[in-house]
Amino acid sequence: MAKLLNAKQTTLKERVVVSGVGVHSGKPVEMILHPADANSGITFLRVDREKKTEFEIKGDYSSVIDTRLCTIVGHPEKGMVATIEHLMAAFRGYGVDNVMVEIDGDEVPVMDGSARAYIDAIDQVGLKELPFSRRYIRVLKPVRVQNGDSVGELLPYEGQRFDVTIDFESDAIGVQHFDDEMTPDVFKRDISLARTFGFMSDVERLWAAGYALGSSLENSVVINDEQKIVNPDGLRYKDEFVRHKTLDAVGDLSLAGAPLLAHYRSFKGGHKLNFNMLEALFADDSNWEWVEAVPALRNAARVGSAVDAASVRIALGPETN
């Protein structure tokens, strides 16, 4: 077992403003990230300045109301905040424990489709250490979820490791694999710049249905019917697709309410699988425990995009019986 090290909770040194448009609504939105007290976690303050109303939404899995196109938290009657996964990934990936997110729209601004704008906002004001120990959720035994051919596992591990595999029929994507310890340096360098992606045919259907109204080549990687990347500047990483899926997983699993000491493995996953993993984890109290220390980080091997699809399916693929 790795040697345990103490760690303190953090928040922002001062408030910072982030403005943009919602990827689905296409509407402008302003978001103010405020410093918050220890043990308060991430909270969304949904503000309607015209109606002069506001209400709070806790940034954890119990507030999730939909995962079909993105991760949405809220109240069925009061309202919601959608597409929170990239912002939440920036908080968890960068080690930010307590923030009040004041937002005047129903959707977090998409920015460039990655988490980098949020990382830049955090860097702009810096982090403040609080005089309270950081709490972690340690996974005590394997937890597995299978949704069709999507499979996820949370395994006991003295660290925060993400092991994500995707498998698309598209020649532009194919099978890609990312596996590494999720430290702030790894998140910023290897994950934070990975953008959301989609197929032109799907985007056109979403537009017709009134979704993805803010989607463009400025905030999404788009693949056309000829399986070519439409974006003039191409990809930011050769395996940007699996890195973005990893970014989503970091954000979705942050809704546990504290960093997970676990090895998360997913095969053909998405927002629904990530959310279902948290439901399964917390369905049994013997699956986990609270701790107030973090293990010294291991030098986990990182696997690139060139992997054998058959071996991945054998390791984590769906059960056939």
Q: Annotated binding site: which residue ranges?
A: 86, 244, 248
Binding site for Zn(2+): residue ranges? 86, 244, 248
The C-alpha atoms of residue 146 and residue 45 are separated, in whole angstroms, by 34
Q: Which residue of the set 24, 177, 263, 271 is catalytic? A: 271
The C-alpha atoms of residue 252 and residue 257 are separated, in whole angstroms, by 10
Could you confirm whether 271 is annotated as catalytic? yes
Active site residues: 271
